[in-house]
Amino acid sequence: MKARSKFYGIEYPIFALKNKPFNYTVTVDTIGVQLKEFGEWHVIDKFINEKSLVSRYIETKDDIFCFDYTCLNISQLISKPIKWGIDSAAKIYNLENKQEFIARNEKVIKVKNNLIWVNTVSYPFTLPKNMIDKNELIQQYATIVYIDDVWVLHKFTSFRESIDKLKL
């Protein structure tokens, strides 16, 4: 069986931190984190049947603790300096250790609505609707990364970059 990446199985959105918490605890009905060694404990999830993690997070949110990022897809996740996160299924991910992935830098060849196509990949990548300036984007190169059998958009560059691997 093929080994999967550290990103495999994440159910989006994922709530993430730039740094791994000093400690965390998972009990039958809560998840708590301690960001620093002598810092306060924060309850980040209280399990309530039939409520989504997003709803539970809003209900348990305190004014002191905030996640650094909320990522809606893997492209957003790999473009940020994230070390730890909890996904919408309340599964915890330690993303500290880097993994090497195949990567390429390809010319953007088509832009339509919020979709872009790059050279050598047969399917389009979806971008946020208000991010697209078709005239600018068609002149760009996209760095794509092969993660868990799918090409994922990582970033745009103005010039072609020679790249064959990335550590994420």
* pLDDT, tens digit, 9 for 90 and up, residues 108-147: 999 998 899 999 999 999 987 777 677 788 899 999 999 9
* Better-predicted residue by pLDDT, 96 or 90: 96
**Domain check: are 87 and 142 in the same one?**
no
Asked if the structure places residue 7 within a domain, the reply is no
What confidence score (pLDDT) does residue 60 get? 66
Task: HSE, CB side, 13 Å, CA atoms: give it for residue 111.
Answer: 18
Question: Where does the pLDDT of residue 43 fall: very low under 50, low under 70, confident under 90, or very high at 90 and above?
Answer: confident
- The helix (run of H) or strand (run of E) holding residue 93 is strand 92-94
Asked if the structure places residue 2 within a domain, the reply is no
What confidence score (pLDDT) does residue 62 get? 66
Q: Is 80 exceeded by the pLDDT of residue 86?
A: yes
Query: Stretch 98-110: mean pLDDT, rounded?
Result: 97
Asked if the structure places residue 70 within a domain, the reply is yes
Answer for the pair 107, 61: CB distance below 8 angstroms, yes or no: no
**Domain check: are 19 and 79 in the same one?**
yes
Q: Is 90 exceeded by the pLDDT of residue 61?
A: no
Asked if the structure places residue 3 within a domain, the reply is no
**Domain check: are 82 and 121 in the same one?**
no
Total of domains in the chain:
2
Q: What is the mean pLDDT of the chain?
A: 90
Strand order in the sheet with 84-87: 69-71, 14-17, 84-87, 92-94
Q: Which of 94, 121, 138 is the last residue of a domain?
A: 94
Task: HSE, CB side, 13 Å, CA atoms: give it for residue 8.
Answer: 10
**Domain check: are 24 and 87 in the same one?**
yes
Structure tokens at 76: 């957003």
Asked if the structure places residue 29 within a domain, the reply is yes
Domain span at residue 50? Answer: 14-94
Structure tokens at 146: 């092969």
What confidence score (pLDDT) does residue 143 get? 97
What confidence score (pLDDT) does residue 148 get? 96
Q: Is 80 exceeded by the pLDDT of residue 48?
A: no
**Domain check: are 24 and 74 in the same one?**
yes
The DSSP secondary-structure symbol of 49 reads T
Asked if the structure places residue 23 within a domain, the reply is yes
Query: Stretch 141-166: mean pLDDT, rounded?
Result: 96
**Domain check: are 109 and 153 in the same one?**
yes
**Domain check: are 104 and 61 in the same one?**
no
Instruction: Tell whether pTM > 0.85.
Output: yes
Asked if the structure places residue 139 within a domain, the reply is yes
What confidence score (pLDDT) does residue 95 get? 97
